[in-house]
Amino acid sequence: MSPIIAEIIGTAILMLFGSGVVANVILNNTKGFGSGWIVITWGWGMGVFVAVFAMGQFSGAHINPAVTVGLAVAGLFEWGMVFPYILAQILGAFIGSSLVWFAYKDHFKETSDPGTKLAVFSTAPAIRNYPSNFITEAIATFILVYGVLYITSPGFMNADGEMLTAIVINGQEVGFGLGALSALPVALLVLGIGLALGGPTGYAINPARDLGPRIAHAILPIPEKGSSDWAYSWIPVAAPVVGAALAAGLYIII
C-alpha cells in the first residue's frame, strides 16, 4: 500500500473512533449519551491503537502532522515527505469525521446546541484564554511526540553508544523495534494524555485531527450548526507543531 494512502486510511480510522465516541457521548438520544470523559478518552485511545496497528507497516502510521514534523526534526523522517503526509492526514481526518456525521445524522437533528455539534468535529477550550490554551496544547503534544520518539525507536544503544537497528543471525538481518506492537503503548500514551491534560482544551495534540473535521463541519449540511469557530482554529494547529519541535529538539540533545 502507498504510504500516502495508508496515512489517509489511518487518520480516517482515528477520526471514526474519536469523533464517533464524542458523538455517542454528547449527542442527544444516543445509547452512550452522558457516559463521560473516561469513555471519550478510551475511544480516542482505541482509535490510535487500531490506526497504528493496521497502517504502521505501510507508512509508520504517523496519523498526525505533529508526529510527522517531530520525526523530521529529529532526523528520522524525510523532509520531502512531510507535506504529502500532512495533506493525507488532513484528508483522512475530513473523511473519518464525515463518516461519523453520516452515522449520527438523526442524533445531530435531535441536538439543538451548536457548540455540542461542533464538539463532535473539533476541539474548543473549557476556558478561552489563547496563551494558556496554546501552552496546554504544546505541553500535551510535547509529551506525545517525546514518548513516540522512544516507543518507536528503531533499535538500542550498544556499549559504545552506537544505535543498533539490526544484527545478522545465521546470515539473515534481524531488526529491532516494536513494529506494529508500538500501537499499544502509543495508544496508552494518548489515553494518559487525555486523562491528565485533556481538560483545558480537549487535547487536540494533532493539527489534522482538528483542522480536517473543522472543515467538514463548515461544509456538511448539519442543521443549525452555528459557527465553526475559526478564531480558535489556529491553536490546535500551531501549538502541537511547536510542542513536537521542542520534543524533537530535546530528543536530539539528550
Evaluate whether 122 touches 236 at the Cβ level (below 8 Å).
yes
Query: Which three cell numbers, joined as nine digits, stand for 145?
Result: 511526540
| Range 161-164, long-range pairs (CB < 8 A, 24+ positions) | none
What's the pTM? 0.90
* Helices (H), ranges, the chain: 3-26, 37-59, 65-73, 82-103, 105-110, 114-121, 130-151, 183-197, 207-219, 235-253
Q: pLDDT tens digits for the chain (254 residues)?
A: 899 999 999 999 999 999 999 999 999 999 999 999 999 999 999 999 999 999 988 898 999 999 999 999 998 889 999 999 999 999 999 999 999 999 999 999 999 999 999 999 999 999 999 999 999 999 999 999 999 998 865 444 455 655 555 545 566 654 444 455 578 999 999 999 999 999 999 999 999 999 999 999 999 999 999 999 999 999 999 999 999 999 999 999 98
Which domains are seen in the chain, by residue range?
A: 3-253 (1.20.1080.10)
Residue 179 is given by DSSP the state G
Residue with cell 503534544: 141
- For 10, residues 6+ apart whose C-beta sits below 8 A from its C-beta are 51, 52, 54, 55, 59, 61, 62, 63, 92
Residue 128 is given by DSSP the state -
Strands 156-157, 166-169: parallel, antiparallel or unpaired by DSSP?
unpaired
